[in-house]
Structures are given as structure tokens and as C-alpha cells.
């Protein structure tokens, strides 16, 4: 509760929201982009100290996840995704002229969004947690929405 | 900050929330329901312009995901789910009398909820993004909660 | 809109947030911890009646999911996770000296967080929904953040 110098009650801070969009155009068809360094200035611009940051791909052939920024692990992740949701010619989705059936399945597997808690004006992540954009069908413009709500 | 005509500070709009429940009863045991057309009027009723919409199954044998509304892809998704989390008699869960062990695993794989960002009163989805309810053990009433918070 | 007995406009309740941290140290390397009984008093302490509770692991070798509290199913889940993301010596991540490559993949598969809707001061879960912490590389301190925002 804030008071003026005359003791009158000031209105509390209302909920705030802040929205930005990012565009990625990866050179490789499949690629990981480390997002954390891009998210921190967005949070700073929001002025929000306590709340949630949604980091969400706006395409159905991309994912967002939180894990370690370690190149060996990233190679393991790609091998694993290819084993569980392999690329190949045999998808019924390809009757539409597309050739990216595996990218849709990889997006469902990894998920297309995460929520990052915001505490005391910072992304409240553990010491090894980093946010990644996973491109499963790139070489073209792909959009992402970052939306923060809080106070 | 809103002022009255006399220049007095009005209280800011507080955070709002809006909650609705849906019930599905699919004719088939496994089925997809395209939710986006059902979610839009719920958002309109909420009066919320900026915030998050949680779309969450209230059962442990169902999922919610965002992807393409394309029938060939949907067939691919069902084949893929059956390959990664097959139905069958060999689940220890079946000792309880249930026969839906695969439905629990499919729910964990797909996840039971998504967050849709709400911007300027609209679901802030990419051009191909649609929200789906995935029923893994239907032919009975299953509930879902839609909760929107924001301003 | 609230009015005083003299008809003056009171400020609306602002958005509230509440954050707590939990630490787990499982005796087994891989284990499930039923979180719901731990989350309920955190919600009570928050004083929040309508909003979202984020339950999020702060490590990249752990998960959080919602499913049934049934021991046979839990055995099925572990067998299934081991089949889809097996432990083994062949991960490139192990060149760093780690031996937990599978734990990272299991974390991506299960996901590291869920959102629980809060309605009328209660976790708005279905009758069989329980929240679990999934430890994939324990026997050491691992942290989790619980953050509730709402009104």
C-alpha cells in the first residue's frame, strides 16, 4: 500500500504486460538458437519484476525448451529427435506437397513454448538452465512471441 | 493512468481472471478435437485484452497441443503416438483393472496443457497454429479447464 | 469496484505474486516425488484465489508432470522413459565427464514444468490429477521454484 505524503492511499500498481516478437531465419534446416541473451533485454524493457515470461514459437515446425548449453548434448538431442521422430518420405502430411512431417512431430515432442518465472526483475532459472529455440524446418523467416505479464 | 474530468486519479484496472469448463465425450476412443473455434468466444466473454489463456485437460488420459489442422498430419500423429507409446496388454497399470496404460504415456508425451498468449483481445497464434484436444481414452465425459488471466 | 461506506472508490486489489523454493535430495538416482501435498500449503500461504501456479524444476536433469498416483503406472512410466531415452555410455555429452546424457533427454521428453490453474483458492485439478517431480539424476540437492501469480 503506497501513501502520498499527505497520507492518501495511492492506487496500487496494476498488472503490466509486455509483448515482443522475434524473427529467426536459420541457415541450416535444423538448428538450435540460444535465446537467453536475447530474452534478458526484453525483460529489462518490460519493467516487470514479478511474473511469468512466455517464450512461444508461432510456427508448428519449431520448438522451445530449457536445457544445458553444451555442444555434445546438443548433438545428442538431434540424434535422439531424429530417432524418435525421423525425417523421411512416408508421412501422409506430404500428400499436401510438404516434406516436413518429421518437423511437426518433433515440435509436439519438444513443445513449442516454455514459461520462465520472473523474480526480482530477473529470469529465475537454475544455474545451468538456458532457453533454446529449436528450428526443425528453417531456411525461411520464422516468428516467435515473447510475452511477459506481472507487476 | 486514468483521470476523472476533475483530474483525480482513478484506480487502475486490476488483474482480471475468467474460468470456463468444457466437457468432451468423443465417439471414438482416440480422437482429436479442434479447439480454437471454441476458445475464441470464451476469450471474448472474458473481456481480457492482454494476458495468458491456459487450456488444460483435467484428465490424465488426454492431451492438449498446438499444431496444424491437416488431416494427413493428424493420421501421422496417431501413428507416431502409437509407435512411441503403444497400446497393449502388458502395462503394470492394468493390474488395477484399467486397460489404458498407453493413454497415460501418450498424455505425458503430448502434455496436458498449453498457454496461449492473448494480445489486443485476440489469441496471439501464428497463421498455422491451432489448438487441439487429444483424447486417448474417450467414449465417456472428460473435462477441460480454460482459464484466462490478464487485464 | 469497491466503495467505502462514504461512497469513495477504493483501489482494486492489485496483482499478487508469491514465490517459494523447494529442495529435493532423492536417495535413488531416479525417483518420483508426489508434490501435490507440498503445493497446497504454498498456495494457502500465497493468499491468491484466482491465478496460475508455475511448478518448475531448476535443473536440466529433472521433470515435472501431472498424472495418476498409481504405483503400477509409475513403474510403466520408468520403463517407458528408459526405452525412449535410454541410459548408456554412448552420449557425446559424456565427453565433458558427465554420465547423465539420458537424464537431459528424459527432462526434455517429460518437460520441466507445469502450470496449475488456481480457482477459488484451490488447485483446479481433475479428480485423478496429481503433480509429480521426476528426478532423473538425483542423490544430490536439486531445486525447484513454485511461483503463483493472481489476485
Residue C3's pLDDT band (boundaries 50, 70, 90)? low
Mean pLDDT, residues C120-147 = 98
Question: Do A72 and C60 count as a contact with CB atoms less than 8 A apart?
Answer: no
Nearest-CA distance C90 → chain A (Å): 9
> Does residue A3 form part of some domain?
no
Domain span at residue C84 reads 16-150
State the CATH number of the domain containing residue C39.
2.60.120.460
Q: What is the pLDDT of residue B12?
A: 55
Q: What is the pLDDT of residue C14?
A: 78
Per-position pLDDT tens, chain B of length 151: 455 555 555 555 678 999 999 999 999 999 999 999 999 999 999 999 999 999 999 999 999 999 999 999 999 999 999 999 999 989 999 999 999 999 999 999 999 999 999 999 999 999 999 999 999 999 999 999 999 999 9
Question: Do C72 and B96 count as a contact with CB atoms less than 8 A apart?
Answer: yes
> Does residue A10 form part of some domain?
no
What pLDDT digit, counting tens, does each position of C11-57 carry?
556 799 999 999 999 999 999 999 999 999 999 999 999 999 999 99
> Does residue A106 form part of some domain?
yes
Q: Return d(Cα B14, Cα A75) in angstroms, integer.
A: 47
Q: Are the C-beta atoms of residues A146 and C11 closer than 8 Å to each other?
A: no
- Of A31, A25, A26, A113, nearest to A78 by C-alpha is A31
Question: Do A110 and C113 count as a contact with CB atoms less than 8 A apart?
Answer: no
Classify A22 as helix, strand or coil.
Answer: strand
Residues 118-137 in C contacting A (C-alpha not used; CB under 8 Å): none
Mean pLDDT, residues A79-105 = 97
Q: What is the pLDDT of residue A12?
A: 55
Nearest-CA distance B88 → chain A (Å): 20
> Does residue C74 form part of some domain?
yes
Q: Report chain A residues whose CB lies below 8 A from the CB of C104.
A: 67-68, 73, 76-77
- Check whether A1 has a pLDDT greater than 50: no
What angle do helix axes C101-110 and A71-84 make, rounded to 10 degrees? Answer: 60
> Does residue A8 form part of some domain?
no
Question: Do C73 and B57 count as a contact with CB atoms less than 8 A apart?
Answer: no
> Does residue C94 form part of some domain?
yes
Classify B89 as helix, strand or coil.
Answer: coil
Mapping DSSP onto H, E and C, the string for A30-73 reads CEEEECHHHHHHHHHHHCCCCEEEEEEECCCCEEEEEECCCHHH
Q: Give the DSSP letter of residue A126.
A: -
Total tally of structural domains belonging to chain B:
1
DSSP track, B93-104 = GGGGT---HHHH
Nearest-CA distance A70 → chain C (Å): 7
DSSP track, C4-50 = -TT-PBPPPPPPEEEEEEEEE--SSSSEEEE-HHHHHHHHHHHT-SS
Q: Return d(Cα B121, Cα A15) in angstroms, integer.
A: 16
Amino acid at each position: 500500500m503506497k501513501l502520498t505524503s499527505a497520507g492518501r492511499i495511492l492506487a496500487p500498481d496494476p498488472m503490466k504486460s509486455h509483448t515482443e516478437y522475434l524473427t529467426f531465419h536459420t541457415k541450416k534446416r535444423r538448428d538450435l538458437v540460444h535465446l537467453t541473451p536475447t530474452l534478458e533485454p526484453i525483460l529489462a524493457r518490460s519493467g516487470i519484476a514479478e511474473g511469468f515470461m512466455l517464450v512461444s514459437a508461432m510456427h508448428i515446425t519449431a520448438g522451445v525448451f530449457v536445457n544445458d548449453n553444451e555442444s555434445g548434448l546438443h548433438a545428442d538431442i538431434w540424434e535422439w529427435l531424429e530417432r524418435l521422430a525421423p525425417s523421411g518420405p512416408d508421412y501422409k502430411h506430404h500428400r499436401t506437397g510438404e516434406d516436413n512431417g518429421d518437423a511437426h512431430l518433433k515440435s509436439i515432442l519438444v513443445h513449442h513454448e516454455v514459461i520462465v518465472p520472473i523474480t526480482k526483475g530477473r529470469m529465475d532459472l537454475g544455474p545451468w538452465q538456458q532457453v533454446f529455440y529449436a528450428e526443425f524446418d528453417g531456411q525461411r523467416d520464422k516468428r516467435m512471441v515473447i510475452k511477459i505479464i506481472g507487476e
